[in-house]
Structure 1
Amino acid sequence: MSAPVLPGYRHFYSGKVRDLYAPEDGSHRLLLVASDRISAYDYILSSTIPDKGRILTAMSLWWFEQVADVLPNHVVSTTVPSAVSGRAVLVERLEMVPVECIARGYLAGSGLVEYRKAGAICGIGLPPGLENGSRLDEAIFTPTTKAAIGEHDENMDFPEVERLLGADLAATLRRLTLEVYTRGESIARDRGIILADTKVEFGLRDDGTVVLADEVLTPDSSRFWPLDSWHPGQSQPSFDKQFVRDWLASPAADWDRSAGTPPPELPDEIVERTRQRYVDAYERLTGNKF
């Protein structure tokens, strides 16, 4: 799925999901377009999920409003070219922080793997006996490196973040990440959804102001579980792309991650069920119909 040509904008970067454009008028802005691409296990899949970009954009805009009193965000305008209407926003051009800021309130994914090996995540010791899906006593900040497409993010401990960014900025990012997560977790829980963990992106204005950027609290950047079926000790049903990861890891996919070959195309049923999970997450969280 190639980035569309947009009159008045110059395409200059494509990530796993988003495409970036610079206005040709030279303004200090960027056009951020969310595609229907989906990634898993550090691969961009050949299959796309219909409407995914529109859902991610609408959900991020809703969440930006919910945390507006915590910190500013990068959105300047939702008036965008008609070809990308509903899936794009005009945003501030920021200096992006080179750290993936992650908050975890539950044990899952790579955090579970590290806990089982070391009894800790990113140098933070956790009590013994926790299981897949266990709720932590309090949310923790578990940053990672920001790897290039196709490469793996690596966990960092907090002193590494301090060395990279300085003690003051590192402390600010930890505080803001946990505040965004805590606000999101509370709102989601009231709507019958567990926000297990989330990745937050930050940028810096020229004056040093920390700004919430990219996306926030979406099924691409977070784990969402239905509250009424949460049972620690097993994999949890999800409203996020974990469903795709699970299928790729199943015998039905007939794919060996260790072989270095790209993942197979997703069956139509998996595509539609994934789309429905994104729609369900949006509607249950925001109360709006998609």
Structure 2
Amino acid sequence: MSKSGSGFGQSAVTKDAAPELPGWRHVYTGKVREVYEGADDASVLLVVASDRVSAFDHILSPAIPGKGAMLTRLTRFWLAKFADGLGIPNHLREPEGWDAELPADIAARSMRVARLNMLQIECVVRGYLTGSGFKEYQQQGTVCGIELPEGLQDGDKLPEPLYTPAFKAEQGEHDENISFERTVELVGTEQAEALRKHSLELFAQASAVAEARGLILADTKLEFGLDPATGELMLADEVLTSDSSRYWDGHVYADTSLPMAERLASFDKQIVRNWLKEHWDGEGVPPELPAHIVEAVQARYAELFERLGV
């Protein structure tokens, strides 16, 4: 999503896909979410997670049944875990009965939230070396410019979690990894330090919860915004979902007799990416996902949901 003062930019997908909802005015369509503002109170937003799935900057067909509701409940699960003791409020604004007029299927994948001035910093925390971080490490011995010990392998646990912020690009563009010093230039010392502090604390608490469930939280992306009236920093957007975080099965990871790809299999849409790499050259419209891929992705999302006890 765009991080303009209003919180959202131009639609990335045709607005015709968004249903009309009583009491809400549609303002934004993203790759996987619809956003509405209160018809009588523009200070509140309704964020509706769809079942759409995207990969390589394309929306794919068909959707993944139940995905939106599961990811919404995952965010609620984590916000409830973080409610006490971490000193960071969140953007949920849901008085009793707030969703009474919404269709049941939309209510299940919706959050009523405060409209914030979103910071254009994506707060990435990495507990393990993998993905783009491992590629950089292989070439330069660093992750986002941070030097690491020699001899690390794909999937290795880092000596300590790394905070590696990124500048949040506009819809359709790629985020840019930035240094902490650049973050200070963008948002000021106080805000930059607060973002780092809260991101590392949230990651530590979430990692402990995941570990108790036999899971590994390898990395995650968090976003924050400011209350327009008070300037208070708040946790916002989706939190520790399968679309914003990399989870591994702890028992599978520990089995060194298995191929590395199997040990590092995440509970997300990587199955889709792998299939597309084998069946699409990246040109034109992506092919339709076969039923067995849709079912496999749905099962993977659901397994994480159940393993965490959501």
Identify which of 155, 159, 168 aligns with 2:181: 159
Identify which of 270, 273, 278 aligns with 2:293: 270
* 1:266, distance to aligned residue in structure 2 (A): 1.3
Distance 2:154 2:56 in 1: 19
Counterpart contact for 1:42–1:152, Cα < 8 Å: no
1:72 corresponds to 2:82: no
The number of residue pairs the alignment matches comes to 282
Identify which of 142, 145, 165 aligns with 1:123: 145
* 1:27, distance to aligned residue in structure 2 (A): 4.5
Distance 2:47 2:285 in 1: 27
Counterpart contact for 1:122–1:156, Cα < 8 Å: yes
The AA in structure 1 aligned to 2:307 is R
Where does residue 244 of structure 1 map in the other structure? 272
Unaligned runs of 5+ in 1: none
Counterpart contact for 1:122–1:158, Cα < 8 Å: no
Query: Alignment partner of 2:61: what SS?
Result: strand
1:28 corresponds to 2:51: no
Query: Alignment partner of 1:278: what SS?
Result: helix
The AA in structure 2 aligned to 1:98 is Q
The AA in structure 2 aligned to 1:216 is V
The AA in structure 1 aligned to 2:225 is G
Where does residue 134 of structure 2 map in the other structure? 112
Counterpart contact for 1:34–1:53, Cα < 8 Å: yes
Q: Structure 1 vs Structure 2: percent identity of aligned residues?
A: 48
Query: Alignment partner of 1:10: what SS?
Result: strand
Where does residue 200 of structure 1 map in the other structure? 222
Identify which of 7, 20, 27 aligns with 1:12: 27
CA RMSD of aligned residues (A): 1.7
* 1:151, distance to aligned residue in structure 2 (A): 1.6
Counterpart contact for 2:22–2:102, Cα < 8 Å: no
The equivalences for 1:145-184 within 5 A come to 145-184=167-206
Distance 2:153 2:286 in 1: 29
* 1:93, distance to aligned residue in structure 2 (A): 0.8
Report the CA distance shift for 1:42/1:143 in structure 2 as closer, same or farther (over 3 A).
Answer: farther
Unaligned runs of 5+ in 2: 1-12
Query: Alignment partner of 1:75: what SS?
Result: coil
Q: TM-score, normalised by structure 1?
A: 0.92
Distance 2:37 2:62 in 1: 27
Q: TM-score, normalised by structure 2?
A: 0.86
The AA in structure 1 aligned to 2:276 is L
* 1:121, distance to aligned residue in structure 2 (A): 1.5
